[in-house]
Amino acid sequence: MPSLVTALVLPLVVLANGLAAGVLVGTQLGGWPLLASLPPARYVHAHAFFATRYDPFMPLCFLGTVAGDAVLALGAPHGPARWAFAAGVPLVLAAVAVSVTRNVPVNRWVRSLDPEALPADFARRDPRPGWGAWNRVRCLLAVAALVTNCLGLGLLLH
């Protein structure tokens, strides 16, 4: 029988992790192909629109997942489930590291640009290929964490 802590924390972890993974999958399926297809000025405008909407939301989801997974890794009533939740911690921390070191700096730089007056060397500095690749990495990490959290949930339901 799950403890009260597990019963309270586990739904929040699955919710937070699922929302983060869902946003990133949605970005891969729709947002990224759109951004990659736009001419530079329209890309800068659209990127700023997207980035400002996800900034407070995604960090909260990632940090909530890490905190909850840590609690569950220490306190879940079933040993294999604890290992599954523990596996989620480094996966989400890696997604956070990619976000902070690769995606956030690009987001800040693109938001600082005026779409009507792009730098003359924008074509050379266009961040889309790198941003897209790193976004795929953090998407895969978030989805892998969600798989481990669903595995932990399944083990507790067994």
The per-residue pLDDT for range 30-71, each reduced to its tens digit, is 999 999 999 999 999 999 888 888 878 899 999 999 999 999
What is the average pLDDT score of the chain? 94
Scan for tokens 């840590």, then name that residue: 70
CB atoms within 10 A of CB 153: 20
Q: Is the pLDDT of residue 145 over 90?
A: yes
pTM score over 0.75:
yes
Render pLDDT for 77-102 as a digit per residue (tens, 0 to 9). 889 999 999 999 999 999 999 999 99
Query: What separation in angstroms does the CA of 29 have from each of 50, 58, 149?
Result: 14, 17, 23
pLDDT of residue 48: 87
Segment 134-151 shows an average pLDDT of 98
pLDDT of residue 1: 52
Q: Is the pLDDT of residue 2 over 70?
A: no
Angle between helices 128-157 and 57-75 (to 10 degrees): 30
Task: Tell me the C-alpha distance between 143 and 90, whole Å.
Answer: 13
Task: Tell me the C-alpha distance between 103 and 128, whole Å.
Answer: 10
Among 91, 73, 94, 74, which Cα is nearest to 152's?
Answer: 73
Among 82, 93, 70, which Cα is nearest to 153's?
Answer: 82
Among 140, 106, 104, which Cα is nearest to 24's?
Answer: 140
